Structure 1
Amino acid sequence: MPNSSNYIAGHVLSSCQTSSAAIAAQPSYIVLPRTNELAGKQYHTVIDFLIDHFKQIDPSVWQQRIEAGKVHWQHGGLIGINTAYQATQRVYYYREVVAETKVPFVEQVLYQDSNTIIVYKPHFLPVTPGGNYVNECLVHRLRIATQIDTVAPAHRLDKDTAGVMLMTLDPQTRHAYHQLFLDNKITKDYQAIAKLTPQLLAQLADNTCTLPMHWTVKNRIVAATPSFTMQVVEGEANSHSEISLVAVMGDLGLFTLSPITGKTHQLRVHMQSLGMPILNDRFYPILQPKGPDNFGKPLQLLAKRLRFTDPISGIEQDFECQGLDF
């Protein structure tokens, strides 16, 4: 395979969790909506909008950030408590968390050129800042390692999922790589480990079925409650995965998975719909209580291989990491 590389998934830096307060090294921004997009709401100041839009953040936090000079316009001008609302303008701010847990696994660059970085992302590491993570994310780590502050993802990969990712470097060509995913011109191959159903185990035991076994899963996936989870509902299918059972060890199976569409949590939901949720999944079939990550029990889902034709160079690219331990 050209430009391919193997990597031992889940290389550990440290076995202990450490936390510390953190302020994002890179600012986030939000575009102030036009008046006709506000559904009857009216804001006189920027802080009025921020408080109403980010309801999960205490109003005093925005006041403290503004007074400390941590909120500004795109050109760098500081936003004050009484700064007037200006529709369509970008407001930049720095995300903060009281305690940010260090993720004790390392990413590895598999390939780099002037437009892209192909990287192995370990389990538990978010791609971009979110929740209690501001600097412990793939984008920030790569910006430090490469000294390129325009590193950005071309697609999504869940925090809990490990595997190969395509990152872009040049804002002028970024859209071309993002379009690959929109046009289904990129092939993604996954692995997963799950506990087999009693019925399937019985069929394998009496040789009424043999490996590999294959399922085509098509159903309708929509947001559930809470909104960061997904569910299957009646209606026209909007998701499609091809799933195969390729090996068995005890009551566990090793699966290969190809997502034809790209819905949030699609493979996790599709495995659940087969009655075989992915091992160590904290969302499906039952949402587990919120708590610290258990670094000893990663979700057994891996984006193992990524194949595409580079839209700029025309080169056929094929990248793969080491598979799950089975």
Structure 2
Amino acid sequence: MPRPTLCARPHQRRARRSLNRSRSSSRREPPLPVRDGLGPARVRVHGGPVLAELTERFGPDARAKVLGGEVLCADGTVVDATTVLAPGGVVFLYRDLPVEVPVPFDIPVLHRDNDIVVVDKPHFLATMPRGRHVAQTALVRLRRELQLPELSPAHRLDRLTAGVLLFTTRRELRGRYQTLFARREVGKTYLAVAQTVPEQIPAVVRSRIVKHRGTLQALEELGEPNAETEICYLGGNQFRLTPRTGRTHQLRVHMNAIGAPIVNDPWYPVVEDIAAEDFSAPLQLLAHTLEFDDPISGRRRHFVSGRSLRGD
């Protein structure tokens, strides 16, 4: 019987050491490169023979990938039929792409240099792969169109939200720009068109917003506020929104909470079933401006979307 292969150096046989090294390696870049705009999937294992586990979890296609030498451990070791990993270890492989409805809108580039790419994302296009949206995402499409395999988003916009979106061109820059957003050093303004306009409009909305796994809507709950939005009424049914925090669906939740749900919002106040191929009613929410001090050049950056909303 062949000896089991461990994703480790030969002298590191104990499961605990293998697990520690897998955890350390998982923080580095994946051992497989970006291919056709898409990076490899990262799978955390339950522990034991990897071939048996991947076959049970993902079926015969995953088994074929292992036997074909297409699955790698975090340290770059090729997984084979004898590979054993401790619980919590990770492996990498290229996923099989789902069938997706093409999003029929271009992604205009507002700015491009050696460090960053700024685009005007259309409605209905996710920022990066997640769930059933993989190839039809801004990240994968831009990697392919611009031939920039290390392109990465510095922040995210909801799939249904259009507007200014910032990417870094090289992986060593990603953390410096992401830190700007984490430290709230980026000025962001949004435009929105509301279904109704309440009699009283608060200047600032503060609440506690939580998003539970497996649910579409984010919810407001009692407790210490973790979300804050400045609201400016522009007249008609139009608003300018300035988020001071970045919770999931924050602007949509806060507009709904004040009695002014955003036009064409399929999730607030109630969840509506919209066909994947229906692009006729875009959410009337636009990431209009983005402003920050560039951590590389030191220059003040200011970008404005060229898009408009119905009702503007």
TM over 0.5: yes
Q: Distance in 2 between matches of 1:144 and 1:189?
A: 29
Corresponding residue number in structure 2 for 1:297: 281
Offset at 1:76? 5.6
Corresponding residue number in structure 1 for 2:223: 235
The structure with higher relative contact order (CA 8 Å, sep 6+) is 1
Offset at 1:69? 4.6
Corresponding residue number in structure 1 for 2:3: none
Offset at 1:263? 0.5
> What's the % identity of the aligned pairs?
34
1:63 touches 1:81 (CA, 8 Å); kept in 2? no
Matched, 1:272 2:284: no
Offset at 1:91? 1.9
Q: Give the aligned length.
A: 276
Q: After superposition, give the CA deviation of every residue in 1:174-220 in whole Å (9 maximum; x if it has no partner).
A: 211111011110011001111115xx3xx5xxxxx8xxx55311000
1:160 touches 1:298 (CA, 8 Å); kept in 2? yes
Q: Distance in 1 between matches of 2:193 and 2:298?
A: 35
Matched, 1:218 2:206: yes
Q: Distance in 1 between matches of 2:286 and 2:213?
A: 26
Corresponding residue number in structure 1 for 2:177: 177
Q: Distance in 2 between matches of 1:58 and 1:287?
A: 30
Q: Distance in 2 between matches of 1:143 and 1:24?
A: 8
Offset at 1:50? 4.9
Q: What is the identity, as a one-letter code, of the residue corresponding to 2:158?
A: D
Q: Distance in 2 between matches of 1:274 and 1:79?
A: 54
Q: Secondary structure at the match of 1:189?
A: strand
Q: Distance in 2 between matches of 1:112 and 1:225?
A: 36
Consecutive unaligned residues of structure 2, counting only runs of 5 or more, are 1-34
Matched, 1:262 2:246: yes
2:36 touches 2:144 (CA, 8 Å); kept in 1? no
Q: Distance in 2 between matches of 1:290 and 1:196?
A: 22
Q: TM-score, normalised by structure 1?
A: 0.76
Instruction: Name the one with the larger strand percent.
Output: 1
Q: After superposition, give the CA deviation of every residue in 1:110-160 in whole Å (9 maximum; x if it has no partner).
A: 111211111111111111112222222111221122222110000111111
Q: Distance in 1 between matches of 2:259 and 2:58?
A: 41
Q: Distance in 2 between matches of 1:286 and 1:293?
A: 20
Offset at 1:246? 0.8
Which range moved further: 110-119 or 68-77?
68-77
Q: What is the identity, as a one-letter code, of the residue corresponding to 1:143?
A: R
Q: TM-score, normalised by structure 2?
A: 0.79
Offset at 1:269? 0.8
Q: After superposition, give the CA deviation of every residue in 1:8-30 in whole Å (9 maximum; x if it has no partner).
A: xxxxxxxxxxxxxxx97523332
2:193 touches 2:310 (CA, 8 Å); kept in 1? no
1:277 touches 1:284 (CA, 8 Å); kept in 2? yes
Offset at 1:170? 2.0
2:229 touches 2:251 (CA, 8 Å); kept in 1? yes
Corresponding residue number in structure 1 for 2:39: 27
